[in-house]
């Protein structure tokens, strides 16, 4: 069955002024849609056609032939964007719950140190990619990945991501990726979604 572009979990103007309706319209309606359409064409009439998105990403990870590489890139980007939309919320940012704040303190020293590390990961990613908060070996960690590489391929559990491809911020912030990352952390992050993901794995 063909994959479909999921609806955004909020209206296209719900993240303004930190992410404009124009950015979301293009990012979701053009870029994300392109990855979905390209993936469907690539896997049509192949053994991958009936596999889940995660299975397709894992099966094509590390591929060297051109078609499998295209499948990996597009499948990973469909997954990443699904996850990115679910990493933000209208009226997002602010303070996480006490429990999540304590978890950040345990790993990073304090919430501000986590934010600094996540911001740095986004800035350190040369060219296109993502900043991530992940669960690895039952501990929180921050990392960046290039292009569309998702951390679950390495056995890490993604808890939060920020798309730092230029298409994610250029209309609103021009070349100022640092300002986009600050706005993401202060005004867009869905802490409740992060906490829900943490609780699913940390008991
Ligand atoms: Fe993107």
Cα(152) to centroid(ligand 1), Å: 18
Percentage of residues in the chain having pLDDT higher than 70: 99
Cα(128) to centroid(ligand 1), Å: 9
Cα(101) to centroid(ligand 1), Å: 28
Average pLDDT over residues 31-45: 97
Cα(61) to centroid(ligand 1), Å: 19
Cα(81) to centroid(ligand 1), Å: 6
Class of CATH domain 98-199: alpha beta
Q: Is the pLDDT of residue 61 over 70?
A: yes
Residue 202 has what pLDDT?
A: 63
Q: Is the pLDDT of residue 9 over 60?
A: yes
User: Among 132, 120, 127, 129, which Cα is nearest to 189's?
Assistant: 132
Cα(88) to centroid(ligand 1), Å: 13
- C-alpha dihedral, 193 to 194 to 195 to 199, nearest 10°: 100
Cα(109) to centroid(ligand 1), Å: 31
Residue 112 C-beta-side C-alpha neighbours within 13 Å: 0
Residue 162 has what pLDDT?
A: 98
Q: Average pLDDT, whole number, for the chain?
A: 96
Who's near 54: CB < 8 A, 6+ residues apart? 79, 152
CATH fold for the domain made of 21-85: Helix Hairpins (1.10.287)
Cα(148) to centroid(ligand 1), Å: 9
Alpha-carbon distance of 10 to 32, in angstroms, equals: 16
Cα(66) to centroid(ligand 1), Å: 22
Cα(165) to centroid(ligand 1), Å: 6
Cα(102) to centroid(ligand 1), Å: 31
Cα(90) to centroid(ligand 1), Å: 18
How confident is the model over 156-194, as pLDDT tens digits? 999 999 999 999 999 999 999 999 999 999 999 999 999
Average pLDDT over residues 82-92: 98
Residue 76 has what pLDDT?
A: 98
Cα(9) to centroid(ligand 1), Å: 16
Q: DSSP per residue over 99-127, as a string?
A: HHHHHHHHHHSSHHHHHHHHHHHHHHS-S
How confident is the model over 114-142, as pLDDT tens digits? 999 999 999 999 999 999 999 999 899 99
Q: Is the pLDDT of residue 85 over 60?
A: yes
**pTM: predicted TM-score of the whole model, two decimal places:** 0.96
Percentage of residues in the chain having pLDDT higher than 90: 95
Cα(24) to centroid(ligand 1), Å: 10
Q: Hey, where are the domains in the chain?
A: 21-85, 98-199
Locate 184 and state its tokens.
């993401």
């Amino acid at each position: 069955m063909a994959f479909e572009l999921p609806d955004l979990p909020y209206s296209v103007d719900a993240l303004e002024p930190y992410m404009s309706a124009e950015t979301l319209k293009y990012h979701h309606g053009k870029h994300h849609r392109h990855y979905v359409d390209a993936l469907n064409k690539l896997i049509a009439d192949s053994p991958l056609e009936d596999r889940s998105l995660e299975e397709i990403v894992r099966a094509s990870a590390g591929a060297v032939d051109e078609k499998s590489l295209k499948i990996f890139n597009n499948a990973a980007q469909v997954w990443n964007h699904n996850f990115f939309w679910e990493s933000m919320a209208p009226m997002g940012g602010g303070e996480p719950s006490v429990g999540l704040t304590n978890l950040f303190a345990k790993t990073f020293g304090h919430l501000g140190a986590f934010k600094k590390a996540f911001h740095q990961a986004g800035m350190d990613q040369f060219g296109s990619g993502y900043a991530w908060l992940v669960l690895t070996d039952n501990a929180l960690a921050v990392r960046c990945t290039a292009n569309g590489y998702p951390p679950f391929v390495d056995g890490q559990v993604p808890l939060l991501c920020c798309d730092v491809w230029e298409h994610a911020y250029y209309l609103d912030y021009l070349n100022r990726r640092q300002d986009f990352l600050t706005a993401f952390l202060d005004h867009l992050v869905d802490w409740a979604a992060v906490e829900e993901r943490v609780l699913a794995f940390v008991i």
